[in-house]
């Protein structure tokens, strides 16, 4: 349990429109207090329970989910009703072992898979633990996250990193695992021709994964030219600015670029127009995999999908994706280092969230270096 009642010091001030909060560089946890308010406080170091390890957190990536919770106070139907520690893309070093832990030792460097499972429902027992009926996810209300100096987690969800894989790369495995699972669900294989909607961090790791799995022709679309330039550098065969209000016409442009309709569309931004484009662009009998979270009531061309037998699939987090993601990084098949574009110490978490929110100047993945006290 975390204790968030410590008094704030006034080492420096940081401002959110209409609000001023004090940050203390000696504090050790980034806390969401209410809509639009993020601050840094002190906590007591927790003690690992049975089959848990205590992790000295090193790095935590900031993604759109974190920013959304910070700005809105909710995630879907999950409402923040109390101070919440954010962050769900962590890595760190094992600092202590709980009872019964044998697979890890103090000093091991690990990536933390941020799920907390019931382990007893049918989905958990069948290995589809991402669909656990009582799944809790770090940093998503009501479960505290990992933007804290010390964090306890089940040992079997901590993945040991080889010596040549950095802790920063370990913190990118959560994002990469999403791309791995998306490509698996979509059926990417040797020779696949693919459309990826969105060149944010999820779209880019999906691009890297698809290429590693043998896709030969990949189109990436986005509204941001700088992100498309990054996609091109990472190996996209074609990039296209999604500036057309006529999604059918844009789908035809994609077909013209590829020389055929894509076998698979993987939608990674959640924009309704991108989903619609994916359906119209994909060949009859092909697959559209929805990854990005958009509005609940988005309109899609369902009749077009039905008559052309488009297979619409979705993903929820990832299942067993971490080992594959780690092996891809460890083997050198995927290099995630270029995706980390901005770094901040824990004391400057507010600055990190602002950078992630704005997404300017080539921002892809913002990383908070929890172990950095500068």
Q: Are residues 186 and 159 in the same domain?
A: no
Examine the domain organization and report whether 222 and 158 are in the same domain: no
Q: Does any domain span residue 138?
A: yes
pLDDT confidence of residue 295 = 84
pLDDT, greater one: 147 or 243: 147
On whether both 45 and 96 belong to a single domain, the answer is yes
pLDDT of residue 232: 97
Query: 352 and 290 in one domain?
Result: no
Whether residue 321 is contained in a domain is answered as: no
Residues 128, 47, single domain; the answer is yes
Strands 150-154 and 136-137: unpaired
Residue written as tokens 């040992």? 155
pLDDT of residue 149: 93
Question: Would you give the distance in Å from CA 226 to the centre of its chain?
Answer: 20
Domain tally, the chain: 2
Question: Over 60: is that where the pLDDT of 5 sits?
Answer: no
CA atoms of 35 and 226, how far apart (whole Å): 30
Instruction: Clarify whether residues 168 and 224 are in a common domain.
Output: no
Tokens found for residue 320: 């067993």
pLDDT (0 to 100) of residue 34 = 80
Q: Do 154 and 53 sit in the same domain of this protein? A: yes
Give the CATH number, domain containing residue 218. Answer: 3.40.50.720
State which of 35-39, 229-233, 243-247 shows the largest mean pLDDT.
229-233
The verdict on 162 and 20 lying in the same domain is yes
325 in a structural domain:
no
> Could you tell me which residue, 165 or 28, shows the higher pLDDT?
165
pLDDT for 9 equals 29
- 135 in the same domain as 279: no
Average pLDDT value for residue range 258-267: 97
Residue that wins the pLDDT comparison between 195 and 40: 195
- Looking at the fold, whether 149 and 221 belong to one and the same domain comes out as no
Tell me if 314 sits within 8 A of 294, measured CB to CB. no
Its domain, for residue 259, covers 176-314
Given a contact cutoff of 8 angstroms between Cβ atoms, the answer to whether 341 and 364 are in contact is yes
In the predicted structure, residue 8 carries a pLDDT above the cut 80: no
Residues 180 and 284 grouped into a single domain: yes
| Within a domain: 283 | yes
The answer to whether position 4 is within a domain reads: no
Q: What is the pLDDT of residues 52-85, one digit of tens each?
A: 999 999 999 999 889 988 988 888 778 888 789 9
- Asked if residue 18 belongs to a domain, the reply is yes
DSSP code string of 46-98: P---TTEEEEEEEEEEE-HHHHHHHHHSEETTEE--S-EE----EEEEEEEE-
d(CA 144, CA 165): 27
Confidence of residue 1 (pLDDT cuts 50, 70, 90): very low
The reported pTM is: 0.89
- Give the containing element (helix H, strand E) for 286: none
Q: Is residue 323 part of a domain?
A: no
Please list, in sequence order, all residues whose beta carbon lies within 8 angstroms of the beta carbon of residue 180, skipping any fewer than 6 positions away: 209, 318, 321, 324, 325, 328
Average of per-residue pLDDT values in the chain: 89
pLDDT of residue 27: 58
Q: CATH code at 342?
A: 3.90.180.10
Quote the pLDDT of residue 182.
97
pLDDT at 4: 40
- Percent of the chain scoring above 70 in pLDDT: 92
Local structure of 101: helix, strand or coil: coil
Domain annotation covers residue 124: yes
pLDDT in tens, 101-128: 999 999 999 999 999 999 999 999 999 9
For residues 360 and 172, the model is more confident at 172
159 and 180 both lie in a single domain? no
Q: Is 319 helix (H, G, I), strand (E, B) or coil?
A: coil
pLDDT tens for residues 274-285? 999 999 999 999
* pLDDT beyond 50 at 6: no
């Amino acid at each position: 349990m975390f204790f968030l009642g410590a008094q704030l010091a006034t080492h420096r001030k940081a401002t959110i429109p209409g609000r001023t909060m004090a940050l203390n560089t000696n504090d050790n946890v980034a806390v969401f207090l209410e809509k639009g308010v993020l601050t840094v406080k002190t906590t007591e170091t927790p003690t690992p329970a049975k089959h848990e390890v205590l992790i000295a957190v090193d790095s935590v990536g900031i993604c759109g989910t974190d920013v959304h919770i910070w700005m809105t106070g909710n995630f879907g139907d999950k409402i923040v009703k109390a101070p919440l520690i954010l962050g769900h893309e962590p890595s760190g070093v094992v600092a202590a072992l709980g009872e019964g832990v044998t697979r890890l030792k103090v000093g091991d460097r690990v990536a933390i898979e941020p799920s907390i499972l019931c382990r007893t429902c049918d989905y958990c027992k069948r290995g589809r633990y991402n669909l656990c009926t009582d799944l809790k996810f770090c940093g998503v209300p009501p479960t505290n996250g990992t933007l804290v100096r010390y964090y306890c987690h089940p040992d079997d969800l901590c993945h040991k990193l080889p010596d040549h894989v950095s802790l920063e790369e370990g913190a990118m495995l959560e994002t990469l695992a999403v791309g791995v699972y998306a490509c698996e669900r979509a059926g990417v294989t040797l020779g696949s021709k693919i459309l990826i909607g969105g060149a944010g961090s999820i779209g880019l790791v999906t691009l890297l994964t698809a290429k590693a799995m043998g896709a030969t022709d990949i189109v990436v679309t986005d509204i941001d030219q700088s992100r498309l330039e990054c996609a091109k550098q990472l190996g996209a065969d074609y990039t296209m600015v999604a500036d057309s209000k006529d999604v059918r016409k844009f789908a035809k442009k994609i077909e013209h670029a590829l020389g055929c309709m894509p076998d698979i569309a993987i939608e990674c931004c959640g924009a309704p127009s991108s989903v619609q484009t994916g359906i119209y662009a994909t060949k009859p009998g092909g697959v559209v995999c929805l990854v990005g979270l958009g509005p609940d009531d988005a309109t899609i061309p369902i009749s077009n999908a039905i008559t052309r037998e488009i297979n619409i699939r979705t993903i929820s987090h990832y299942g067993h994706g971490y080992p594959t993601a780690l092996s891809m990084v460890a083997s050198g098949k995927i290099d995630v280092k270029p995706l980390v574009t901005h770094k901040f110490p824990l004391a400057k978490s507010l600055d990190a969230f602002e950078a992630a929110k704005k997404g300017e100047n080539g921002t892809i993945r913002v990383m908070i270096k929890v172990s950095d006290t500068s």
